Amino acid sequence: MTDIIRQAKNAKEAALRMYSLSSGVKNNALLEIARVLSERAEEIFGANQKDLDEAKKTGLPMPLRKRLLFDAKKLNSVVDGLKSLSGLEDPVGKTLLARQLDEGLSLYRISCPIGVIGIIFESRPDALVQIASLCLKAGNAVLMKGGSEARHTNRILATIIRDASVVSGIPEGWITLLQSREEVRDMLELDEYIDLIIPRGNNEFVRYIMDNTRIAVLGHADGVCHVYVHKDAQPETARRIVVDSKAQYVAVCNAAETLLIDSEIAEPLLPELARSLSEAGVTLHGCERSAKILDIDRVDDWHKEYLDYEMSVKIVDGLADAIEHINHFGSGHTDAIVTENGESAETFMNAVDSGNVFWNCSTRFSDGYKYGFGAEVGISTSKIHARGPVGLEGLITYKYKIYGKGQIVEDYASGKRSFRFRPIESFGHS
Amino acid sequence: MTDIIRQAKNAKEAALRMYSLSSGVKNNALLEIARVLSERAEEIFGANQKDLDEAKKTGLPMPLRKRLLFDAKKLNSVVDGLKSLSGLEDPVGKTLLARQLDEGLSLYRISCPIGVIGIIFESRPDALVQIASLCLKAGNAVLMKGGSEARHTNRILATIIRDASVVSGIPEGWITLLQSREEVRDMLELDEYIDLIIPRGNNEFVRYIMDNTRIAVLGHADGVCHVYVHKDAQPETARRIVVDSKAQYVAVCNAAETLLIDSEIAEPLLPELARSLSEAGVTLHGCERSAKILDIDRVDDWHKEYLDYEMSVKIVDGLADAIEHINHFGSGHTDAIVTENGESAETFMNAVDSGNVFWNCSTRFSDGYKYGFGAEVGISTSKIHARGPVGLEGLITYKYKIYGKGQIVEDYASGKRSFRFRPIESFGHS
């Protein structure tokens, strides 16, 4: 435990100094990291080969080995990401509110870094670079723990990021790569130093984190996403959206797990949809009515996240029924309605209690890159702090500043002075 | 436990229906609550008298009995608060971001209610009305637990609020007053129904809550606030701010607990400040140097929140020393610098890691009313979701809506289409 305490203390000290970093220093550091990553490409690929060899030996399943791969293509995309991040507006130091409280007493709400962020992420080594660079841009120190199957790759990436950033003027200690699972457990107790934990992983793991720390957690639970085909849906639009939402990439949280369809149009549309899904390799499980129509198995758990070529199907009796099903069995992630009826779409989007509600497009659009956020630290199904795909702004908080001229509260309490609130116009970024 | 589960379920159902409430319905409900509170004033005063009588019998200390009092003055202020709240802009349905992702594919971030909020508050019955009305304005359902010493007053206030709001079209079940401490404990387990817990109370209590729930908690820990008298301070300004920060009202979290003063000016300024503080009834405790100068006791805990006529004093060696002390021993609540030097003030305000950082004014200004927020649900020393005094916006989250025309992700993955991000200008409130 002593090691992690020391590292967390160092991170806290670095974070305090990072509050005053200029945008220029942070952006130059991002560019320098990009430069050194390219320069040391062969070393990185060598380390990655070690991880891949070990993964093969230990029999890691193929999809996981794919995620582990860090080749020239991944490096290019990571380097491009760093360059584009360095060009983005600085999220720190923005004036979010400016108000005169009284003559000569001015209140400002200014965006600022959160402090120290603990991040636990899955096996993709490119995620390490993305997350570290987002934290740096937002002025936060970071404690990171990656998947142990990627440890050689993660180690060299973290070393390059640390060295290149410290050379560029970022305080030492701002980035630490944790080595073991025990350190993650220890980290959960360090609420004195760590301000936010972002766990990326499966549902159970995120719940474990939430149950074992008093530090704030920004985590997504699961993605039980729905596509609801409303009675006024255009059939071909419905077919394309249902197939894409389910089968475009099944192993991700924004893939649809349940198809809802209005009873009025279930015949002949449902069998047509089922045929297209079957052609895409998808096995269906049904409610009582749909199981009869399609001659399929019954669903045993409407809250199931398959993350596979499987899908639940339910016939519903109109909009209200669909909304109720989603709010009851969904996970608040992403839900779409297919309809040509704008009023029904608007009702659906307002009443469904999810972070992302779509009209006539695939649930797979629910993603920080596709939203134009440049990058994402994760997708939050929490409603607090940040919801949906979380970009830079999820790594930012704010503070209030008051500029006075010697004012005291007693003068206002006694009635000698009174507040005269008025907005301060024409404020830019401070 | 069954009772509280049922109540939480009802609250969740009410919350889902509250997403679609119009501003008009909510504002009329607030005005109707105000009307009925005035109409039934005598009943309320009668219930309050019962609480006061019992408090006297059980020997509740005088300051707490003062907080318990709900008289015509309190009623008027509560009724005024409701009227002004009904006139405020609706925080729900605001467009926070509008972006075209591609031709015919538009992304909006829209503010919306959080859902169900659990609030535990101290003995002041007027707090019940304020908190319930803020929740209603923000479209949230609420489970509330007030201090048991105010139970007669709380019960009639909650009944009036419920009846008057339901008559006005707010879904039944949106407000529940919990009766017992056991129900609070049970509430902490209901993360399926409750989205946010706001505990108002002492430090220990808030920590207990944080340690015993996986629901997000918006709580302030303690208020160890500092006034730092910089070497370039104007002495009379320093004197007024120090006395007001400490002694204007000692029992509150934004009262200063520690005075820091630069060694260069400690003599003769510190003895002068000590004299004024002593005249205001304040006992000082010092560091090694200040204890010698003032002939006072030594401080035994720099992190102590006195909430009384006591104050710690430390002589520091300049700005960096002061900042370090505050970041180490402070609680991230409110800290002020007194100086005529703008550059030092700016450095202080950027480097001190607190929610509220002030230049040349009293720490006592740290308050939702004084910030012009109309009301506050509490002061957050957390950095996540909401920081500092929290008004309506702390009770709000957002969701993403995408309006499409049948787009699927496969077309973008295959390169057939590509994203063309551009801001959607001229959006107002949706």
Please state whether B261 falls in left (phi above 0), alpha (psi between -120 and 50) or beta.
Answer: beta
Which amino acid is it at B94? Answer: K
What is the enclosing helix (H) or strand (E) of B13? Answer: helix B2-18
Is B272:B294 a contact under the CB 8 Å cutoff? no
Q: With b meaning 16 or more CB within 10 Å and e meaning fewer, what string describes A65-100?
A: bebbbbeeebbeebbebbeebbebebbbebbebbbb
Instruction: Tell me the pLDDT tens digit for each residue of B277-299.
Output: 999 999 999 999 999 999 999 99
ipTM: 0.90
Q: What is the pLDDT of residue B207?
A: 83
* Interface membership of B62 toward A (CB under 8 Å): no
What's the CA angle centered on B374, arms B368 and B379, to 5 degrees? 20
CA A2 to chain centre: 31
**Token code pair at residue B207:** 């920590």
DSSP B298: B
Q: What is the average pLDDT across A330-340?
A: 96
Q: What is the average pLDDT across A278-303?
A: 97
- Phi and psi at B245, nearest 5°, equal -60, -40
List CB contacts of B29: < 8 A, sequence separation 6 or more.
Answer: B136, B164, B165, B168, B169, B170
Closest CA to A75 of A157, A158, A152, A176: A157
Q: What is the pLDDT of residue B333?
A: 95
Q: Is A411 exposed, middle or buried (0-12, 13-18, 19+ CB in 10 A)?
A: middle
Which among A214, A354, A382 has CB closest to B399? A354
Q: Which residue has the tokens 């009209």?
A: A359
Which amino acid is it at B62? Answer: M
* Interface membership of A328 toward B (CB under 8 Å): no
pLDDT band at A428 (very low <50, low <70, confident <90, very high): very low
Domains and CATH numbers, chain A: 2-218+383-395 (3.40.605.10), 225-365 (3.40.309.10)
Mutate which of B140, B207, B407 to test chain A, going by most A C-beta atoms within 10 A? B407
Instruction: Tell me the pLDDT tens digit for each residue of A354-393.
Output: 999 999 999 999 998 899 887 788 888 888 889 999 989 8
Helices (H), B212-356: 235-247, 266-279, 288-294, 319-329, 342-351
pLDDT band at B193 (very low <50, low <70, confident <90, very high): very high
Is B246:B222 a contact under the CB 8 Å cutoff? no
Mutate which of A22, A319, A383 to test chain B, going by most B C-beta atoms within 10 A? A383
| Cα torsion angle, A9, A11, A15, A17, sign | positive
Residues in B closer than 8 angstroms to A387, CB to CB, are 397-400
DSSP A414: T
Q: What is the pLDDT of residue A64?
A: 81
pLDDT at A123 over 60: yes
Q: What is the average pLDDT across B40-56?
A: 96
Work out whether strand A422-423 and strand A95-102 pair parallel, antiparallel, or are unpaired.
Answer: antiparallel
Q: What is the average pLDDT across B105-126?
A: 92
Q: Quote the strand ranges of A230-309, DSSP E.
A: 256-262, 283-286
CA A424 to chain centre: 34
Work out whether strand B334-338 and strand A196-199 pair parallel, antiparallel, or are unpaired.
Answer: unpaired
Instruction: Tell me the pLDDT tens digit for each residue of A309-328.
Output: 999 999 999 999 999 999 99
Task: Please give the residue of chain A at the shortest CA–CA distance from B114.
Answer: A383
- Phi and psi at B149, nearest 5°, equal -65, -15
**What pTM does this model have?**
0.90
% of chain B surpassing 90 pLDDT: 78
Instruction: Tell me the pLDDT tens digit for each residue of A172-211.
Output: 999 999 988 888 899 999 999 999 999 887 778 888 888 8
Q: What is the average pLDDT across A24-39?
A: 98
